[in-house]
Amino acid sequence: MVWSPDGKILASGSTDHTVRLWDGCDGKCVNTLQDHTNMVFSVSWSPDGRILASGSRDQTVKLWDTRDGKCLNTLQGHTNIVYVVVFSTDGQTLASAGADEMIKLWNVQTGECLKTFKGCGPYEGMNILGITGLTEEQKSTLKALGSVEIAPQ
């Protein structure tokens, strides 16, 4: 849940797949944004307060026009829950992060993914050449998790 830049509206994600905007003075819901297909974990206002971003279990980030509540764009590319969305200070870029261990940077105007940072798993780069006591299937699983077989030079 997060306050708008002017401190008048509170935005919250919900298990009912919506984003709700609340009047900060009287506590009444002033708008319900509906387009996600699963629960919403994170919301973030653009610095000028015109756009709201939301991250969801549906693996998408949505950008909303806060004046009319319409979905401006759906950003796709995550492969698991999106837990965090945050705007850059100039409002031109949005960062999203999720359970897929990826951080994505998005162009807010075009919806283009500008860059993806991938987290390193616990087996990433682990050299398993010559390892004993594992089946071929187990070695294959380790390779799928980022292990390598590299002979020393």
Give me the domains of the chain, ranges plus CATH numbers. 2-118 (2.130.10.10), 121-153 (no CATH)
pTM here? 0.80
* pLDDT of 118 higher than 90: no
- Of residues 44 and 143, the one with the higher pLDDT is 44
In single-letter form, the type of residue at position 128 comes to I
* pLDDT of 153 higher than 90: no
Q: CA–CA separation, 74 vs 36, rounded Å?
A: 9
* pLDDT of 65 higher than 80: yes
Average pLDDT over residues 94-109: 95
Find out whether 9 and 19 touch, Cβ atoms under 8 Å: no
- Of residues 53 and 120, the one with the higher pLDDT is 53
Entry field: residues in the chain: 153
Tell me what pLDDT residue 46 has. Answer: 98
Sign of CA dihedral 12, 18, 22, 28: negative
Tell me what pLDDT residue 71 has. Answer: 98
C-alpha separations of 63 from 8, 27, 43, 54, 134 in Å: 20, 24, 10, 7, 47
- Could you tell me the two tokens for 3? 């306050």
* pLDDT of 47 higher than 90: yes
* pLDDT of 145 higher than 90: no
